[in-house]
Amino acid sequence: MNYESLSKMIDHSLLHPTMTDEILRKECGVAVKYNVASVCIKPYAIPLALEELKGSDVLVGTVIGFPHGNSSTDIKVIEARAAAAAGAGEVDMVINIGKALGGDWNFVQQEIKAVNDAVVKNGSILKVIFENDYMTSVEIIKLCEICSALKVAFVKTSTGYGFNKQENGMYSYRGATAEHLKLMREHSAPQVQIKAAGGVRTLKDLIYVRSLGVSRVGATATAVMMDEAKALLAAGEDLNSLVEEDHQLGSGY
């Protein structure tokens, strides 16, 4: 395990609604500094990201139907096509959550197919976001089977914004969990990659999900993780030794 094998697992997430252009430019610089796989940026900011990342091999990714997946299929296709045409090499689409929970699998499959076809036709790849906080194992497995049949590039756990309202009126959010990541890897075709989003905040988190078969993570704590990795590798540490079977994602913050 070397530095690049870890840095190229990271999609540096730049999706918070309060982000200004100044912040986005600064964070694109972070992505270049740590040589991550991509930035995951809001659709309107694709041109900005392309300009800031020029000369690097950091890809531009974006989101569609984000964060709740409620746009019509036609609008998601238009969004996806426009994003790919604008230069987004990777497109993360939120499924129609209500249709999945209601068991309308024909709708869900047709929507994913329509968006995947549009993205692939324009030379990009699709990541399908399930929003696992709302799903049971039954729905997660079915979604993995659909995405495998359609040969999408990635299945992804979460948006980072799928908050569940509790009985006391407060909202909670788990994001990626070991249980769900194992389930997704088990029930997805070998060529379908897994992306963990939400809860991967430390180097131990990153190495742990890698051990579960995850090849990409959405993260905001890029600098924290990669600075630690660089220091440990420089000291001759074996990063594989950080993996613990009972590791709890996000426990470091």
Alpha carbons 151 and 212: distance in angstroms, whole number: 21
Alpha carbons 189 and 224: distance in angstroms, whole number: 32
Both structure tokens of 213: 């078969």
- Of the candidates 127, 195, 204, 205, the residue annotated as catalytic is 195
Alpha carbons 8 and 217: distance in angstroms, whole number: 9
Count of positions (residues) in the chain = 253
230 among known catalytic residues? no
165 among known catalytic residues? no
- Of the candidates 76, 127, 142, 156, the residue annotated as catalytic is 156
Both structure tokens of 98: 């209500």
Backbone angles phi and psi of 105, in degrees to 5: -70, -25
Both structure tokens of 115: 């968006």
The count of C-alpha atoms lying within 13 angstroms of the C-alpha of 48, restricted to the half-sphere facing its C-beta, is 20
99 among known catalytic residues? no
- Of the candidates 11, 92, 133, 205, the residue annotated as catalytic is 92
Neighbour tally for 121: CB within 10 Å: 11
User: Which residue has 């060529």 as its token pair?
Assistant: 191
Alpha carbons 119 and 30: distance in angstroms, whole number: 27
What amino acid positions are annotated as catalytic residues?
92, 156, 195
